[in-house]
Amino acid sequence: MREGLTNSWYRALHIPDVDVIIDDQELRFMKVVSQSNRSPAYTIWNPGSEFSLCDCTWSSLGNLCKHVIKVGIFCRNRQLARPSFAAQMYHFFMYYRMLNL
């Protein structure tokens, strides 16, 4: 398999939505079922944010894992995600600029 087809983004696209579990009413965390052995579910804290964290080995090494990417896609598609910090700052500065024109 080519390297471009084995990255976290590509792998996240192959995780079915039914394997994403909304485990908290306040969306503080979500879970993603393991695709390799179906037994463990990885916990993603702060889902849908650019500051999401996962408890998988790949993420604990400081990498962006497929579970965080999948939850981000899942949240965006269902409008569950909060606006990103960058988007909030952009809108704040555009609003401030508009007031000062």
Total structural domains within the chain: 1
Q: Which residues, including other chains, have CB under 8 Å from residue 32's CB and lie 6 or more apart?
A: 15, 19, 20, 21, 41, 42, 44, 54, 67, 70, 71
The pLDDT of residue 13? 94
The DSSP H or E segment spanning 77 is helix 66-77
Q: What is the pLDDT of residues 45-97, one digit of tens each?
A: 989 888 899 999 999 999 999 999 999 999 988 888 766 666 667 667 777 77
Only one residue has tokens 């999401």, namely 52
Whether residue 4 is predicted with pLDDT greater than 70 in this model: the reply is: no
Looking at the DSSP bridge assignments, the partners of residue 8 are none
10 is in which domain, residue-wise? 3-99
Whether residue 1 is predicted with pLDDT greater than 70 in this model: the reply is: no
